[in-house]
Structure 1
Amino acid sequence: MILTSGRRLKTLVGRTFSYLVLTWCILILIINRYLGTHITRGGSHLSAESKIFEGKLLVDNSPALSDLEFATMLQNEIPNLPLRYWQTLKNDLPAMNKSCAKFPSILDLRFNNIYWQTLETSNGTFYLYGAYYDNRTLEAKAPVVRILGMINRLKPQVQTTCQLWFKDSKTPVFTKVYEYKYIWVGQWGNHRDGLIQPYLISCQIPVEYRHLVPESVSLVENPCDMAVINLRVINNVPENGEKKEFAVCVKGLDYLNADLSVRLVEWFEILHHLGADKIFLYEFEVHPNITKVLNYYKKRGMVEVTPITLPAYQPNIKGLRHIYVKKKVTNKRQNELIPYNDCLYKNMYRYKYITLLDIDEVIMPKGVNMLWKDLVENVSKKVPKGEKLKRSSYVIRNVYFFDTLHTSDKNPTLFDEIPRYMHIFQHVHRAMNHTKPGYYIKAFHNPQRVMTLHNHYPLACIGGSCSPFSISTEDAQLQHYRGDCVADLKKSCDYFKNYTVRDETIWRHKSPIISRVTETLHNLGFFS
């Protein structure tokens, strides 16, 4: 019995030992395989790492810009600064003498909100935006330098002087300011001292220098003052000496959260088809998709975009400025006059006509007139002989194409033959009657006649008083695409909405425009 138990114990111990040996062997095998795999993977990892170490990084290895190249780049971003001229002067700055009228270094200027320069005088503060060479035939005092800006005085009384800086001249040329031209009408509001007001300031170039164009201008209270203002004098002449036909100017775009990118594509293509050679837009803040559209058309040379800010004490904080211009309507309208007139003076030599439009407006030729050029040529034949050169503007009356007319019971919601993304082409129901003559109009302005521009018409002209010619609604109309009437027309808005007609004039152009809009949206990746 004892022997039997011993044998069993011996057998059990033997089996246990065999099991442990087998388990140990299996563990060693697993460990060896694991280590082998780990080492192989590690080697592969090291091999990949070494390849990465040998690779080339995608960084910009372009050579550093020279000082002159850097100044040129900056001047393109801030056109009113004479950066290239200043760079060529190096440290040899012109001056009347050591204590009188020294050329102000760019680094010593008094900037305001990026694009403005500030001059504080004994009677008012000047916020200056741009300077321009004006040698138009009808200007009696030509050539003159115009300075565009805002002053916190209604009728500036302070005497100021222009220091004109000419290339290769070691001294400035002094000339008195002979006019502060008010670019506003007092009855429109904000007509009091202390609030900034838009002005065009003029200095005549002395006779002995009239064959020269100044590089820049400084505005000072006393001739010998050390200037804190230095504006490049812009003199944009046409390429190859040939003027183009039509330029369109657009006030500061303020679409921070509204994605109007697709509508903007349609609008650009319509205007370009009708005859706009180039569209000049100013920009506050826009939706990223709008930026994408603007960049696309910039590369194609169809648009030019200029960033802009509000001057002086007005807010430029993102979002807050949007609220400000929405609530402060009169201030907004005064501020708009700066980009409008900057656009005029930058392009007065390069284009035969300049028009100011919002992105919901289209000047539409009618009848035998298909394009803008046809319209102007045919309408000019109706102007009495001898008066064509005198006409400052060709005026077009306004008519509303309301969004609500598009969705009313008596009108179809959509036209199947028109893509749904073509907002303007889908809206062919308009108010039966145009707004009254002279109200909410737009115009083709003759830049050889107009001196200052308002959104709707010229405020001042050279070579006599302004003399607009009103185009018949049979020849053209300003098609205004809105959700509702402007605030001033609220009382009569129901009348415009209740009496409507179908107007398919724009459909005469649908094939080429729809094709180009669709192609552009595809190129920009707007289709899912």
Structure 2
Amino acid sequence: MVMVSVVVILVVNQENLGLHDLADLRQPASLLYVLRGKPVSEVTLLSCRCSMHPWPGTTHIATIMNQSLPWLNYTTTRQDLRQRHPNLPLDLLNGPKNRRCSLLPTLFSIDWSNRYWQRTILDDNASFFLYSAFLDPETEGKASVRLLGVSESKAPPPAWCHLWFHADAPPLSVRVATVDYLDYQGRNGGRQMPYLLQCPLPPNASDAPLAVSLTTQPCGHASNLLRVIGGRQREVSAYRSRKVPDNPTTMVKGWAAAVCGSALFYYHEDFSARLVEWVEVMRAQGFSQVFLYVTDVHPNITKVLRHYVHEGFVEVTDYSYPPPYLNDPTLRRLWTLVERQKMFAQENVYFTDCVLRHMHQYRFIAHYDPDEVPILPEHHNFTHFLDDLIASVKGPAPPGYKLQWAYFFDNVAPSEEAAGLPAFLWMLRHTGRQASHFERQCGYGKIKAVSPKMAFLGHFKHTCDKNCDNETVHDLTLHKYKEQVAVKVQRVLSDLQLL
């Protein structure tokens, strides 16, 4: 299969909230396919029974959870743990009642791996590492819970979900209905492969479960417990007016957009100034929020992230790679350079996690790395582009849109207009790009391609060799944000003492 050079603007469903077809989603390093299983026609569920046990260590847990941490602005341990482990259902594990169903895992019976992953053994040849779980309302009332994880198994065996609505009541045990493979690469037992499991909710379930466990047998004991994230209704953050319209299904203009970035691992490189510029370009283009994942990064990058998290424009999720991959920053950096296929497969994990984690907050989510920005020749900002893009669609709305790539080169001298800009305005200074855009080389499926005359993706990464000297042009499109971005970047870098 030939890869294409495009980026996706994901539409999280058309009118109704939920996860629909995510075919042909392009990431910077891989073409992502979600291979959907057959539609769920039946729900296989069992009602479990369990005895009631007291919570272990209740007094100690309550004392520690309520302890304030002076070095974190007197945040409590509970708040800190909730921030660092957003996939852990603390409300279920530390509820007001001092008893729990014997089938419910405790903090200490969960099989933790590499800090954020939870392991379950489905059979002798298949360990499954779970990362997160989400409520998928879908359409026509067929809601389900989706579990995101990885396994070296090419065909994960049948499994069951325990849907937890209360700690002191038995779970509903539901058979896993579909297992979706999340990678453009062929299945290979030599690497951890990403999967998305679907566990349908009973048709009469009015409440969403608080948590979910994956087990080999119905009503069996589980070694994992994930918080179910999401909501049945789209939040007001999806609308630029911050108000729910009378009829969202017919709304064309006024949608907000967010950005899902990559998992940052700039440990050996101080990328802080470029990160500030990238965030401010995203803001200038009209994005409402930026979501990033972070592993081990340079101390200056940590400063930048804390600034924007405190401001509310950026949300950061701590991330680690699953076993057997090491999470030492130097070994990880070598791994990303040498074990490229394994790294590409893992990119699909945090990108999928980001989309599902925030699909109830935003209808439109774009995926850009910090060295990529949309170039909008015909619009002042991304939201105006989005309005016209939606209005141009005839018939059913596609599940997503794709932008083609164009490289902006590191070693091409800036144009006369950009030559006087300070070095910390990297993107605004580097105006030399390839004259032509990458051509489509294979079908896009249900994803709609956007004409590069309307918008394309600028990738600020590559070096121009002698073969491209005569094939470059200077593109000043980003200079429409020059005044706003320059002032903001200089102010942030000065405040953080990074100049």
Judged with a 3 Å threshold, the aligned counterparts in structure 2 of structure 1 residues 223 and 494 are, in CA distance, closer, same or farther, namely farther
TM-score by length of 1: 0.74
Match in the other structure for 1:251: 262
The answer to whether 1:233 aligns with 2:243 is no
Match in the other structure for 1:356: 367
Q: Which runs of 5+ in 1 are unaligned?
A: 1-62, 96-101, 442-456, 458-465, 486-492
Match in the other structure for 1:77: 84
CA distance in 2, matches of 1:383, 1:239: 24
Q: Write the deviation string for residues 343-363 of structure 1: whole angstroms up to 9, x where unpaired.
A: 011110111211111111110
Match in the other structure for 2:209: 214
- Which letter maps to 1:82? P
Match in the other structure for 1:205: 201
Map of 1:27-38 to 2, 5 A cutoff? none
Q: Write the deviation string for residues 281-308 of structure 1: whole angstroms up to 9, x where unpaired.
A: 1111111111111111111001111111
Match in the other structure for 1:164: 163
The answer to whether 1:403 aligns with 2:403 is no
Judged with a 3 Å threshold, the aligned counterparts in structure 2 of structure 1 residues 166 and 64 are, in CA distance, closer, same or farther, namely closer
Decide which structure has greater helix share.
Answer: 1
CA distance in 2, matches of 1:497, 1:196: 41
Indicate conservation of the 8 Å contact 1:153/1:194, yes or no.
Answer: no
Indicate conservation of the 8 Å contact 1:243/1:350, yes or no.
Answer: no
Q: Write the deviation string for residues 146-189 of structure 1: whole angstroms up to 9, x where unpaired.
A: 00000111122x221001110376111011001110001344xx
Indicate conservation of the 8 Å contact 1:71/1:84, yes or no.
Answer: no
Indicate conservation of the 8 Å contact 1:160/1:222, yes or no.
Answer: yes
CA distance in 2, matches of 1:241, 1:167: 29
What secondary structure, in the 3-state scheme, does the structure 1 residue paired with 2:177 have?
strand
More contact order relative to length (CA 8 Å, sep ≥ 6)? 2
CA distance in 2, matches of 1:242, 1:265: 24
Structure 1 vs Structure 2: percent identity of aligned residues? 30
Indicate conservation of the 8 Å contact 2:408/2:430, yes or no.
Answer: yes
Cα offset, 1:270, TM superposition: 0.5
Match in the other structure for 1:512: 484
Aligned with 2:101 (options 77, 80, 94): 94
Match in the other structure for 2:55: none
The answer to whether 1:115 aligns with 2:133 is no
Q: Which runs of 5+ in 2 are unaligned?
A: 1-62, 69-75, 241-255
Indicate conservation of the 8 Å contact 1:243/1:349, yes or no.
Answer: no
Match in the other structure for 1:415: 419
Cα offset, 1:382, TM superposition: 2.3
- Which letter maps to 2:107? I
- Which letter maps to 1:279? V
The answer to whether 1:426 aligns with 2:435 is no
What secondary structure, in the 3-state scheme, does the structure 1 residue paired with 2:483 have?
helix
- Which letter maps to 1:481? F
Paired residues in the alignment total 413
What secondary structure, in the 3-state scheme, does the structure 2 residue paired with 1:306 have?
strand
Judged with a 3 Å threshold, the aligned counterparts in structure 2 of structure 1 residues 70 and 293 are, in CA distance, closer, same or farther, namely closer
Match in the other structure for 1:131: 133
Q: Write the deviation string for residues 220-271 of structure 1: whole angstroms up to 9, x where unpaired.
A: 0011321111111112565557545111111211111111111111111001
Indicate conservation of the 8 Å contact 1:179/1:202, yes or no.
Answer: yes
CA distance in 2, matches of 1:153, 1:494: 45
Match in the other structure for 1:152: 152
Match in the other structure for 1:183: 182
Match in the other structure for 1:373: 383
What secondary structure, in the 3-state scheme, does the structure 1 residue paired with 2:261 have?
strand
The answer to whether 1:469 aligns with 2:480 is no
CA distance in 1, matches of 2:458, 2:393: 24
TM-score by length of 2: 0.78
Cα offset, 1:142, TM superposition: 2.2
CA distance in 2, matches of 1:149, 1:170: 26
CA distance in 2, matches of 1:181, 1:325: 25
Match in the other structure for 1:292: 303
CA distance in 1, matches of 2:479, 2:348: 34
